[in-house]
């Protein structure tokens, strides 16, 4: 098999996905690329013997394109995903699915109108080996009914353009999806608590933020988002249930004993920490599209829910209040 | 040296302290014991060649008693501590210092009137090797200014008499003291969030409880109290600062590889987990009284603060609101 | 790119490699399969739309076959590898390269006569992330000059056909290659010490065996081979240098706290433990053949050296003496 | 209780034991001290209100001395231990019991002639919490019959006076005793293998040394002694049995995440690593002498065996051969 893929957006993440689809994923073939920067599109396309096209719509319309990958600027996601649905082509969209809950909802409705799942959202943590083991232990009853989850999401630093709302929209959105998936339950409220901010940051930024989420079933989630923690990219997750607890391990790294210490390295970059997860994500997506014609990963509904919940989180950051999430009823279409 | 000690209250913790003072602490000699159960007092006293006396006041008045240990029922603590202060004798009082903030305050005032520290409260975690390392790292600037602290306090189970307010008064009170000591800062508000309760418990009990504390300096503390976690007695503490984080290690236990697993034991009992801390606590107390005539450990003020803060925590449990702690100004007397 | 691959031997490991080449390795295409069991060859070939051929020679001769994978019964390896060299086709041969040092040497000589590297031997540990980090630390001087290496190779159990010489020939052969690669030095002597044997085994089997190797540069290696250790498949390696030591980590697995223990799973199978290493091994082999026409992994010389050293190890098992390895001088051809 | 103790030898270890007996051990009272340096004896004695006496014999003869601690220069141990036995007084002797096997044997014989145990040798590892857990797991059958033991004994550095034979006599002697105690079995042969020596050392010193011991029951022990490992004082021990393995943990130290690493401290000094073990050792010795009049710890026979085995180890270092230990038959007296 070899599925023709069109990529819309050839920036950093687009190039990464093109590289993965070319070098790491069996059965995929990037055939068309577009970017707002036509020169960049040409350069990237020529590296993999793909066509550089002028617009996202041209990519979607290209007969050789059997499935679409959307890695353009966030505000353009909705347009391209809707166009792919209109064309009846499977589309893998990097998070966020859209920059407003309304646009997410339009996608959800369009997909339902189409009658079959076409959309997958790029929440790659569901493909991380550690998280999958975590889910397996939870699902198998290894810790009993989950009651609490303690999470941390730390980056060594962020660029100056990062603003306080992005802690929810860009960073916590990964845990928002992960929690919903791990617990198979919905988040009903969000609250942000703001500790003293680090001095290693921009004046405009509230960092760290301590977030609290409540699940419909009563479990409570706490999440430290700290994007200027200095020391590394570090992801922690412990789920506590009625009879035990299960935790993500630190990544396996060699242990060095020297100069009076036992030590191991911490990743500095999410691209390294989740490199394998990205490979598995695209591999399984291509395989599912090829075998069944529809994706099995995070759905448009998951993208919509993450959008609503991160909006509620930002609202809490601004108001200081607990904010209830106002999700529509989940359509049967999404199981 | 050998300091004569009188013990008021010969129940479980009283007997434990008598045993420690006799077998583990150099320079101490239990000379008098009393208990509400006169037979028990006689039995316990005769085991260590001490006198059994009829009342706490008699113990305090005994000329051979140079320092007093109060391990009686909580509601009687204030009376005996005040009597020891009146007699000008050093007194080690198990937590709580008193069962009301008002009584704690009376002790604080009596001690100040006396003009020298006489009171030490039994917050033994300050003597645990792990917590001391944690404090050393924080004090040395190893993690920069602390911003967050993530704690868990888990017991395998509790007796039926344990009720929801005790999560703050009996259990979290240890973290309340530890946090104030580690960060050298005061707690200004408390909030309790109540996840779905475990089904492995009594209907009357809200368990786990998730507590949030705010420090005057802006650091935020979260604490899971889960007293029916089933699997063991487990204490976790991570302090996150501007440049790094430092965590309590699990106690050192041998690693067993067998039957498909790598495993190590979890303590089932706080008495085992903090056995060394109790030894060090009493050893340093006896040494300080002997050398300088006054204690260096947790003070009456610390006992008062813990009382006010645990009251605020219970109030939040009942009201669901953030409750500001209403501490008096700290007297210069307490540094 | 898509390189045509012919596979000789469709038993368990052959099928695994076919699956990997088909599902996990980009740029490879299994086009021809043979097996001593013609029915099995047909079945396996049809699953991947390859041709089933009658003999290994036919596979090698097939014009569509650009590179050969030899996964047949060990005693047939030399014949097929020599035939591939004669045909001038790259050949990946599962270990052992040949069952006698003489046959390995014939391959080494044939390859040199050919004038370019064609042979790669299946020592997959060089592709394991942990071992690669170990090598990186050693190469970067992180532990100073290596002096000692402590290794263990444990299997939960082995089938009854496993005999005592296989501890060196089949099991320790992985460490023999790994040590030579990690230290970039040659093994000059081998010694086997035989502890009391486990009772969980066959009477004919000496298990565990404790092996000692001496490097030309003076470093010493010890290796516990224990193939009926019951509890799991467990690989340990610590290299001790003049200024520090570096150790393989246990694989990252979630930590479960339950029933009084903290625990993590141990792999039961080398196929799981080294699954990623196998993927990387074949991916890099295909890439190297495609890009440069010759392999970069373990060479025929490495296969020859491993054969001589494992023979010496078996001799020591039988004689109880230290046995010097009698390697030919390393040809310049092999760097 | 308060037992009068006389200390012979007030050098570093003597002072340490005096401090422990004074500050950490309940029921002991150092009443007499002697040292080859009379001024030092006076100084040390006056610090603890003990008498400074002129000779070891005077200490032994002092009626206030109920038990003797020998911490003088090794070559004088035998004389003082024999004198204590002659006086019928319990004697705790730091290792070695004597500097020759012959002298050890004289002590063994004298003690038997006396008819009751009087001698304990200072092998403190038997009192380390980790080793005790190890023994408990082994004794409880947690790993099945022990077959192998892997040990390492690393010091950051040693003074120039340290010579190659001391690797066995001073360093490995701890593991020699520990192994005999853990496995309750005798060492029947010793062998030393000499890897390339570290360049961070004296030319006269063979370091590291890799030692192999064979037990009567067939288990095999390997021990890396590396006294200039640079990075820390590090003790490792794994016992492998028929169904599992059990390992000493690293000491519990806080985990610091900073500057791209997760790290914990390694002890630099055996005095810190085994501080608790020394406390427990002397506490249990004093308790046993007080309660039963005879010690329960490592016996004169253990001191004799360690001497014979370390002699055999040194012989192997010099000859390169496996050396059988030539222990006398163990008298019934020693159980």
Are A261 and D265 in contact (CB < 8 Å)?
yes
Lookup: tokens for C274: 């080294």
Low-confidence ranges of chain D (pLDDT < 50): none
Q: What are B117-136's pLDDT values in tens digits?
A: 999 999 999 999 999 999 99
All residues of chain B having their beta carbon less than 8 Å from the beta carbon of residue C266 are 257, 260-262
Mean pLDDT, residues C172-181 taken together? 98
All residues of chain D having their beta carbon less than 8 Å from the beta carbon of residue A260 are 231-232, 265-266, 268
Q: Which residue of A has its CA nearest to D268?
A: A260
Q: Do B59 and B34 form a contact (C-beta atoms < 8 A)? A: yes
* B275 phi/psi in degrees, rounded to 5: -55, -50
Peptide bond into D28 cis (omega under 30): no
Q: Write down the domain spans for chain D.
A: 3-124+276-300, 126-268
Lookup: tokens for D6: 């006389």
**Angle, nearest 10°, between helix axes A12-23 and A275-292?**
60
Q: Which residue of D has its CA nearest to A155?
A: D260
Give Cα A201 distance to the centre of its chain. Answer: 25
Q: Do D66 and D4 form a contact (C-beta atoms < 8 A)? A: yes
Q: What are C64-120's pLDDT values in tens digits?
A: 999 999 999 999 999 999 999 999 999 999 999 999 999 999 999 999 999 999 999
- Of the CA atoms within 13 Å of residue B141, those in its CB half-sphere come to 0
Residue with tokens 């990037």: A30
- The alpha carbon of residue B310 is apart from the nearest alpha carbon of chain C, in Å, by 29
Mean pLDDT, residues C295-319 taken together? 98
User: If you write DSSP's letter for every residue of D131-189 in order, what string do you get?
Assistant: HHHHHHHHHTTTT-SEEEEEEEEE-S---TT--TTHIIIIIIHHHHHHHHHHHT--EEE
Give Cα A180 distance to the centre of its chain. Answer: 13
- The alpha carbon of residue A38 is apart from the nearest alpha carbon of chain C, in Å, by 26
Mean pLDDT, residues A260-288 taken together? 97
* A193 phi/psi in degrees, rounded to 5: -110, 140
Neighbouring-strand partners of residue A241? A146
Q: Does domain B3-124+276-300 have CATH number 3.40.50.720?
A: yes
Q: What are C130-148's pLDDT values in tens digits?
A: 999 999 999 999 999 999 9
> ipTM score here?
0.96
Q: What's the alpha-carbon Rg for chain A, to the nearest Å? A: 20
Closest Cα partner for C58 from C43, C73, C41? C41
Are C256 and A26 in contact (CB < 8 Å)?
no
Q: Which residue of B has its CA nearest to A322?
A: B321
Q: What are B325-334's pLDDT values in tens digits?
A: 989 999 999 9
Domain B126-268 class in CATH:
alpha beta
Length of chain D: 335
Q: Which residue of D has its CA nearest to A229?
A: D258
Are B219 and A196 in contact (CB < 8 Å)?
yes
* Predicted local distance difference test score (pLDDT) of residue A233: 98
* Predicted local distance difference test score (pLDDT) of residue B132: 98
Sheet holding C28-34, edge to edge: C51-52, C28-34, C3-8, C67-70, C91-93, C119-121
All residues of chain B having their beta carbon less than 8 Å from the beta carbon of residue C234 are 257
The count of CB pairs under 8 A between chains C and D is 94
Cα–Cα separations (whole angstroms), residue D298 to A233, D68, D91, D120: 51, 16, 12, 5
Are D260 and A265 in contact (CB < 8 Å)?
yes
Are A254 and C130 in contact (CB < 8 Å)?
yes
How far apart, in whole angstroms, are the C-alpha atoms of residue B224 and residue A149? 10
Chains in touch with B (3+ beta-carbon pairs under 8 Å) read A, C, D
**Would you place residue A5 in the very low, low, confident or very high pLDDT band (cuts 50, 70, 90)?**
very high
pLDDT for C171 beyond 80: yes
Are B256 and D142 in contact (CB < 8 Å)?
yes
Cα–Cα separations (whole angstroms), residue D81 to D6, D13, D70, D104: 12, 17, 7, 10
Q: Which of A167, A199, A229, A316 to mutate to test the interface with B (most CBs of B within 10 A)?
A: A229
User: If you write DSSP's letter for every residue of B65-133 in order, what string do you get?
Assistant: --EEEE-S-GGGHHHHHHHHHHTT--EEEPSPS-SSHHHHHHHHHHHHHHTS--EEE--GGGG-HHHHH
Q: Which of B262, B267, B268, B273 to mutate to test the interface with C (most CBs of C within 10 A)?
A: B262
Cα–Cα separations (whole angstroms), residue A271 to A12, A234, A274, C137: 11, 12, 6, 22
* Predicted local distance difference test score (pLDDT) of residue A45: 98
**Would you place residue C1 in the very low, low, confident or very high pLDDT band (cuts 50, 70, 90)?**
low
- Using a CB–CB cut-off of 8 Å, the residues of B that contact C are 230-232, 234, 250, 257-266, 268
Give the nearest partner residue to B217 out of A150, A196, A226, using CB atoms.
Answer: A196
* Predicted local distance difference test score (pLDDT) of residue D86: 98
Q: What is the mean pLDDT of chain C?
A: 97
- The alpha carbon of residue C306 is apart from the nearest alpha carbon of chain D, in Å, by 22
C295-314 burial, b for 16+ CB within 10 Å, e for fewer? bebbbbbbbbbbbbbbbbbb
- The alpha carbon of residue A142 is apart from the nearest alpha carbon of chain C, in Å, by 8
All residues of chain B having their beta carbon less than 8 Å from the beta carbon of residue C265 are 260-262
D1-23 burial, b for 16+ CB within 10 Å, e for fewer? eebbbbbbbbeebbbebbebbbe
**Would you place residue A84 in the very low, low, confident or very high pLDDT band (cuts 50, 70, 90)?**
very high
Closest Cα partner for B218 from B181, B186, B194? B186
**Would you place residue A141 in the very low, low, confident or very high pLDDT band (cuts 50, 70, 90)?**
very high
Q: What is the mean pLDDT of chain A?
A: 97
Q: What are C188-231's pLDDT values in tens digits?
A: 999 999 999 999 989 999 999 999 999 999 999 999 999 999 99
- Using a CB–CB cut-off of 8 Å, the residues of D that contact C are 144-145, 147-148, 150, 152, 193, 195-200, 208, 210, 212, 217-220, 222, 224, 226, 229-231, 240, 242-245
Are C257 and B231 in contact (CB < 8 Å)?
yes
Lookup: tokens for C156: 């939960």
* Predicted local distance difference test score (pLDDT) of residue C140: 98
Q: Which of B245, B246, B252 to mutate to test the interface with A (most CBs of A within 10 A)?
A: B245
* Predicted local distance difference test score (pLDDT) of residue A2: 87
- Using a CB–CB cut-off of 8 Å, the residues of C that contact B are 230-232, 234, 250, 257-266, 268
Q: What are C36-54's pLDDT values in tens digits?
A: 999 999 999 999 999 999 9
Q: What are A302-325's pLDDT values in tens digits?
A: 999 999 999 999 999 999 999 999
* Predicted local distance difference test score (pLDDT) of residue A269: 94
All residues of chain D having their beta carbon less than 8 Å from the beta carbon of residue C224 are 148, 150, 240
* Predicted local distance difference test score (pLDDT) of residue D201: 85
* Predicted local distance difference test score (pLDDT) of residue C201: 85
How far apart, in whole angstroms, are the C-alpha atoms of residue B166 and residue B227? 10
Q: Which of C153, C155, C157, C195 to mutate to test the interface with D (most CBs of D within 10 A)?
A: C195
What SS3 state is found at B308?
helix
pLDDT for A143 beyond 90: yes
């Amino acid at each position: 098999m070899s599925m023709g893929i069109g990529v819309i957006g050839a920036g950093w993440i687009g190039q990464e996905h093109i590289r993965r689809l070319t070098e790491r994923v069996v059965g995929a073939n990037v055939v068309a690329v577009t970017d707002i920067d036509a020169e960049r599109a040409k350069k990237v396309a020529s590296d993999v013997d793909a066509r550089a096209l002028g617009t996202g719509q041209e990519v979607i319309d290209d007969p050789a394109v059997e499935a679409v990958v959307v890695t353009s600027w966030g505000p353009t996601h909705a347009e391209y995903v809707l166009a792919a649905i209109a064309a009846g082509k499977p589309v893998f969209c990097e998070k966020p699915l859209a920059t407003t809950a309304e646009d997410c909802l339009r996608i959800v409705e369009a997909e339902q109108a189409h009658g079959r799942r076409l959309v997958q959202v790029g929440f790659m943590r569901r493909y991380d080996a550690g998280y999958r083991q975590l889910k397996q232990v939870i699902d198998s009853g290894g810790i009993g009914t989950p009651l609490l989850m303690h999470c941390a999401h730390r980056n060594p630093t962020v660029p100056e353009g990062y603003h306080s709302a992005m802690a929810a929209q860009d960073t916590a959105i990964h845990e928002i999806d992960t929690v919903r998936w791990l617990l198979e339950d919905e988040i009903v409220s969000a609250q942000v608590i703001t500790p003293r901010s680090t001095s290693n940051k921009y004046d405009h930024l509230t960092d760290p933020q301590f977030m609290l989420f409540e699940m419909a079933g009563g479990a409570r989630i706490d999440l430290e988002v700290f994007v200027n923690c200095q020391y590394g990219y570090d992801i922690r997750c412990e789920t506590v249930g009625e009879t035990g607890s299960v935790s993500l391990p630190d990544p396996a790294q060699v242990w060095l004993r020297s100069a009076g210490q036992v030590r191991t390295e911490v990743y500095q970059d999410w691209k390294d920490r989740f490199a394998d997860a990205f490979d598995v994500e695209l591999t399984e997506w291509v395989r599912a599209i090829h075998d069944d014609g529809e994706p099995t990963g995070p759905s448009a509904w998951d993208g919509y829910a993450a959008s609503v919940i991160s909006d509620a989180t930002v609202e809490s950051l601004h108001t200081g209040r607990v904010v209830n999430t106002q999700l529509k009823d989940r359509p049967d279409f999404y199981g």
